[in-house]
């Protein structure tokens, strides 16, 4: 029997990933949507979450694919109504919001899944196990993309809580915190803010780690042409490159994983597993690094940005 899920926010990621992934998985049924503006053919539609929660007590899972700023209130209402909740990344616009939701889910005895889709890229498990037995010599994240291409007209990413370039950058940090065998902490950051915006367009982060290896992350939203989502790692025993956002792995120049795009299918499978075992999965490590970058980072003002 399939599980009923309601999808809230019918925007870019809902259409690109959630709807096709749910449709392709026999374990799930898209039973309703909540949207202020859109609907999905053949699926019951509500314009508010209150209406959905009141009228469809049979839907046990609510998947929130709205931006981080409005997400807390939606998640709180769903958890208070005893529903299991999936959060898009980042799990909130602040850490305190996420801790509150985590406590509420525990209190209500329901599952909360703070998803990090990049952790479910095909190359990530292989990268993690390769790294587990090696000593780090260098760790370099390069995440450079064209904001106009990937976030056309999305104003929320430039508003407080929208994270700016950390919206994609946090994906790299979610992989970093998954594959490293230990925790690291941010030491320095430089954040570049367009003169007319409240969130950064570029960031350069440095981290301290137990191997004392140089560890750096560069995020930039101004890259036109080929796009770069790479992590280059040198160790005492070879070099690994994770590319295409974690889908591909090469070791010493030899491709060992050439994955496909399964991230959202894997997220819904993971949610099935969490529901079966009655667990939650709320790892805030990537968000902690972003908050530390905002706390410790030097601010540079750069040219204004217009779409
Ligand atoms: P989006 O298309 O700009 O927004 C998604 C939907 O959220 C909108 O269509 C709108 O739905 C709803 N929404 C927007 N502002 C709202 C508000 N103030 N209150 C209530 N609902 C609001 O954004 P997106 O690209 O899908 O991103 C949504 C989330 O997914 C973000 O956290 C993002 O980081 C994450 N994500 C995005 C991508 C990507 O490639 N875009 C990839 C992975 C993860 P209605 O008009 O239906 O109400």
| Rounded distance between C-alpha atoms, residue 139 and residue 233, angstroms | 5
Q: Which CATH architecture has domain 3-114?
A: 3-Layer(aba) Sandwich (3.40)
H/E segment holding residue 35: none
Per-residue pLDDT of the chain (307 residues; tens, 9 = 90+): 899 999 999 999 999 999 999 999 999 999 999 999 999 999 999 999 999 999 999 999 999 999 999 999 999 999 999 999 999 999 999 999 999 999 999 999 999 999 999 999 999 999 999 999 999 999 999 999 999 999 999 999 999 999 999 999 999 999 999 999 999 999 999 999 999 999 999 999 999 999 999 999 999 999 999 999 999 999 999 999 999 999 999 999 999 999 988 899 999 999 999 999 999 999 999 999 999 999 999 999 999 999 9
Q: Which candidate, 4, 1, 86, places its Cα nearest to that of 44?
A: 4
Strand duo 61-64 + 84-87: pairing: parallel
- 301, 195 in Cβ contact below 8 A? yes
The residue to mutate among 43, 52, 66, having the most atoms of ligand 1 within 8 angstroms of its beta carbon, is 66
Q: Which candidate, 74, 128, 111, places its Cα nearest to that of 282?
A: 111
Instruction: Give distance in angstroms: CA of 64 to centre of ligand 1.
Output: 9
Cα 86–chain centre separation:
12
For residue 194 and ligand 1, the question of a CB distance below 6 A is answered with no
For residue 68 and ligand 1, the question of a CB distance below 6 A is answered with yes
- 60, 1 in Cβ contact below 8 A? no
Burial (0-12, 13-18, 19+ Cβ within 10 Å), 63: buried
Ligand 1: residue whose CA is nearest its atom 43: 13
Ligand 1: residue whose CA is nearest its atom 25: 12
Query: Is 300 a catalytic site residue?
Result: no
> What pLDDT sits at residue 31?
98
For residue 167 and ligand 1, the question of a CB distance below 6 A is answered with yes
| Rounded distance between C-alpha atoms, residue 266 and residue 161, angstroms | 27
H-type alpha helices, the chain: 12-13, 19-23, 49-55, 68-80, 95-108, 124-131, 147-150, 166-179, 263-277, 285-296
CA separation, residue 4 to residues 69, 272, 277 (Å): 26, 11, 17
For residue 123 and ligand 1, the question of a CB distance below 6 A is answered with no
For residue 86 and ligand 1, the question of a CB distance below 6 A is answered with no
- Structure tokens that stand for 104 in this block: 């509420």
Half-sphere exposure of 230 (CA within 13 A, CB side): 11
Q: Which candidate, 267, 272, 260, 166, places its Cα nearest to that of 221?
A: 166
The residue to mutate among 67, 75, 86, having the most atoms of ligand 1 within 8 angstroms of its beta carbon, is 67
- Structure tokens that stand for 130 in this block: 């390769």
3-class secondary-structure state, position 173: helix
| Rounded distance between C-alpha atoms, residue 30 and residue 89, angstroms | 20
- 93, 161 in Cβ contact below 8 A? yes
Q: Which candidate, 7, 54, 52, 49, places its Cα nearest to that of 28?
A: 7
- DSSP 8-state secondary structure symbol assigned to residue 146: B
Protein fold of 118-258+291-302: Dihydrodipicolinate Reductase; domain 2 (3.30.360)
pTM metric for this prediction: 0.98
For residue 115 and ligand 1, the question of a CB distance below 6 A is answered with no
| Rounded distance between C-alpha atoms, residue 8 and residue 167, angstroms | 19
> What pLDDT sits at residue 261?
85
Q: Which candidate, 10, 43, 11, places its Cα nearest to that of 28?
A: 43
Q: Which ligand 1 atom is at minimum distance from the Cα of 154?
A: 3
> What pLDDT sits at residue 260?
86
3-class secondary-structure state, position 31: strand
Domain segments of the chain as ranges: 3-114, 118-258+291-302
- Structure tokens that stand for 280 in this block: 């939650």
Determine which one of 55, 89, 137, 241 is catalytic.
Answer: 89
């Amino acid at each position: 029997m399939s599980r009923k899920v309601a999808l809230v926010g019918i925007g870019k990621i809902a259409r690109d990933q959630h709807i096709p992934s749910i449709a392709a998985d026999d374990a799930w049924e898209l039973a309703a949507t909540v949207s202020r503006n859109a609907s999905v053919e053949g699926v019951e539609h509500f314009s508010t979450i209150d209406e959905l929660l009141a009228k469809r007590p049979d839907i046990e899972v609510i998947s929130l694919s709205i931006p981080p700023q409005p997400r807390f209130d939606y998640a709180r209402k769903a958890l208070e109504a005893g529903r299991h909740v999936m959060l898009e990344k980042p799990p909130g616009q602040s850490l305190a919001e996420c801790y509150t939701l985590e406590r509420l889910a525990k209190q209500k005895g329901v599952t909360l899944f703070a998803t990090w889709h990049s952790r479910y890229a095909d190359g990530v498990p292989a990268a993690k196990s390769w790294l587990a037995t090696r000593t780090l010599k260098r760790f370099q994240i390069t995440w450079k993309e064209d904001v106009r291409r990937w976030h056309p007209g999305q104003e929320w990413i430039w508003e407080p809580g929208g994270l700016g370039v950390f919206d994609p950058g946090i994906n790299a940090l979610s992989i970093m915190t998954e594959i490293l065998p230990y925790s690291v902490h941010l030491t320095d950051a430089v954040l570049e803010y367009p003169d007319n915006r409240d969130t950064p367009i570029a960031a350069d982060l440095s981290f301290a780690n137990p191997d004392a290896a140089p560890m750096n992350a560069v995020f930039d939203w101004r890259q036109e042409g080929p796009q770069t989502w790479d992590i280059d790692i040198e160790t005492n025993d070879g070099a690994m490159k994770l590319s295409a956002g974690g889908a591909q792995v090469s070791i010493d120049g030899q491709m060992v994983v050439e994955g496909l795009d399964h991230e959202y299918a894997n997220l819904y499978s993971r949610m099935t597993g969490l529901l079966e075992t009655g667990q939650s999965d709320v790892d805030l490590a990537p968000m902690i690094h972003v908050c530390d970058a905002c706390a410790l980072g030097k601010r540079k003002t750069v040219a204004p940005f217009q779409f």
